[in-house]
Structure 1
Amino acid sequence: MTALPPLLATLPALLLQAPLQGPLPEGILGQAILAVVAMAVVVIVGRIVLSIAWKLVIIAVGVVGLLWLVNVVGF
């Protein structure tokens, strides 16, 4: 595994401190901004998780295909 860049390593701490830097937006526009930021975080985390999941699916397909081939050949 590769080490995380320094910015990514400190990102959770920065995200926790971000709301403390200023007042939270009020009203419908403020709620919309918070919703868009929350969706962006979910999408970014989802992309990382799906990237790992696709690698696992490809490995599983290879293993199952190899087992099927061994079964067909008769070893």
Structure 2
Amino acid sequence: MDIALAAGLLATPLGKLLVGLVALAAVVLVGRIVLSVAWKLLLAAIVVVGALYTAGVLL
């Protein structure tokens, strides 16, 4: 990106708002990916702990 274009974009309040919204969208996108992985790990942990608990109770 040209430095003059970036400086012009940040020179106006609307440009700053646009940059802020794009940055927020990037954070939300990365957050969704991280949360997707976190949910899978949490569900796997629940299954493993549930299996260990069941085995401990029955055996």
TM-score (norm 2): 0.84
- Aligned-pair identity (%): 44
Q: CA RMSD in A?
A: 1.2
> Per residue, is there more helix in 1 or in 2?
2
Q: Which has the higher contact order (CA 8 A, sep 6+)?
A: 2
For structure 1, the residue ranges without an aligned partner over 5 or more in a row are 1-19
Which has the larger Rg? Answer: 2
The residue aligned with 2:26 is 41
Task: Give ranges in structure 2 of 5+ residues lacking alignment.
Answer: none
Q: TM-score under structure 1 normalisation?
A: 0.68
Q: Following TM superposition, where does structure 1 have runs of at least 4 consecutive aligned residues deviating by more than 6 angstroms?
A: none
